Amino acid sequence: MILDDRNARRIAQQLGLKVIGTVGMLLRAKQKGVIAEVKPLLTALAQVDFHIAKPLVENALRLALRIVN
């Protein structure tokens, strides 16, 4: 289940559902070779005021560097 709304994520987790947010989906897409890079997409999201915490972005970029398509 893809959720980025905090309350929806909390309820989904309480129901035992696996929750993957936008950043997780971007990393998964890179891992599967659907996208080549994560950073441009994270930048584009930031430009349209999609809030992602800076530490999450930094961690995602570190993880993305380890993914070899």
The confidence score (pLDDT) of residue 7 equals 87
Domain interval for residue 42: 22-66
pLDDT in tens, 15-68: 999 988 899 999 999 999 999 999 999 999 999 988 899 999 999 999 999 998
Q: Is 20 helix (H, G, I), strand (E, B) or coil?
A: strand
Say how many domains are in the chain.
1
Residue 27 lies in a domain: yes
Residue 8 lies in a domain: no
How far lies 56's CA from each of 9, 14, 15, 16, 32, in Å?
Answer: 16, 22, 24, 23, 21
Residue 39 lies in a domain: yes
The confidence score (pLDDT) of residue 58 equals 97
